Amino acid sequence: MKTLNRSIVLTVLALSSFMAMPPAQAVETKSIPHQKQVAGFYQHQLGNVQITALLDGTNYLSPALFKGIPAAKVTQILKKYYADQAKGVQTSVNAFLVNTGSSLVLVDSGSSSCNGPNFGSVIKNLKAAGYKPEQVDTILLTHLHPDHVCGISDKGVASFPNATVYVADAEANYWLNPKQAAKLPQDKQSRFKQTVEKIQQAVQPYQATKHFKTFKLGDKIKGFDVISTAGHTPGHSSFGFKSGNEEIVFIGDIVHSHSIQFDQPETAIDFDVDPKKAVQTRLAQFARLAKNGQTVAAPHLPFPGIGHIYSADAKHYQWIPVHFKD
């Protein structure tokens, strides 16, 4: 009797535990932890030159930052590109390390800690690619916005102790001239001063050792040609480099979106110092790059930001990214 009772109890227990088991479906929908990507660097060979794209980070831009385009058109383009409408327009910050064989040149440097926790990975990714910051001998800056210049230093100390930093004279005169803020409309002065503070902190260690230099149009630095692409900022520059019969152009911020500003290239962005001129520059450069087919390296196009610009009608453009190559 005792045994029978015991077996009944066990059966009831077994049944109840079976009944209590969650259905198989519930197990399957348990969330899978988000996995980090591998280190953000990508090697691209151009003739005898090795270009390493370095990811600084990614974030989302509000669609409201794009100017001169109806909101409905923005929504339509983002839908076409399968962009997450709720989050906004994804942007990447990339820098480029160019090993010319005789020089190691960094084009732009990322944000360091200037733009929050999503950014600041350039040095980590440079090391992951097998280089050391001390090996960089030249830094070319397309302009002095914090997402391009802040990465050269960390808390007032040069991150590339053996490098000379180059920027256009018009760019240095605009951001580093103490009289400039007073020339701006009152409502723009405080944002300008905040930006200048970050720029000054980044360049100071290089100025102190006389490793901060300016260039002008027509100068050649370590084999790089200077191309004037002013508009986004007053001294904004792009850099061309040739190897054999191939050419790459480091375009800087002539474009901030592979979707909206390629589909509608006359769209400005809130960060443009001179939006009208920035649009003219983009139209002229897009036409030139689409016609001649140079390889393009861009800081704000999806990582690695290397590819080509195509146009069927010279009005709308398309970004053709490089294909992954081993």
Enumerate binding residues for Zn ion (CB under 5 A).
145, 147, 253
For residue 217 the two structure tokens come to 């149009």
For residue 276 the two structure tokens come to 């009208």
| φ, ψ at 283 (rounded to 5°) | -60, -45
Task: Please say which residue, 247 or 253, places its beta carbon nearer to Zn ion.
Answer: 253
**Cross-strand pairs, 167:** 214
Taking alpha carbons only, the member of 82, 53, 57 closest to residue 259 is 82
For residue 66 the two structure tokens come to 């794009």
**Least distance from Zn ion to the Cβ atom of residue 85, Å:** 23
Task: Please say which residue, 83 or 254, places its beta carbon nearer to Zn ion.
Answer: 254
Secondary structure element (H or E) that encloses residue 59, with its range: strand 49-61
**Least distance from Zn ion to the Cβ atom of residue 143, Å:** 8
**Least distance from Zn ion to the Cβ atom of residue 238, Å:** 13
Would you give the DSSP letter of residue 148? Answer: H
**Least distance from Zn ion to the Cβ atom of residue 300, Å:** 6
Task: Please say which residue, 162 or 302, places its beta carbon nearer to Zn ion.
Answer: 302
Task: Please say which residue, 145 or 282, places its beta carbon nearer to Zn ion.
Answer: 145
Give strand ranges (E) for 87-236. Answer: 89-99, 104-107, 138-140, 153-154, 157-158, 164-168, 212-215, 220-221, 224-228
**Least distance from Zn ion to the Cβ atom of residue 252, Å:** 8
**Least distance from Zn ion to the Cβ atom of residue 141, Å:** 11
Angle at 199 between CA 118 and CA 257, to 5 degrees: 50
For residue 110 the two structure tokens come to 């990322």
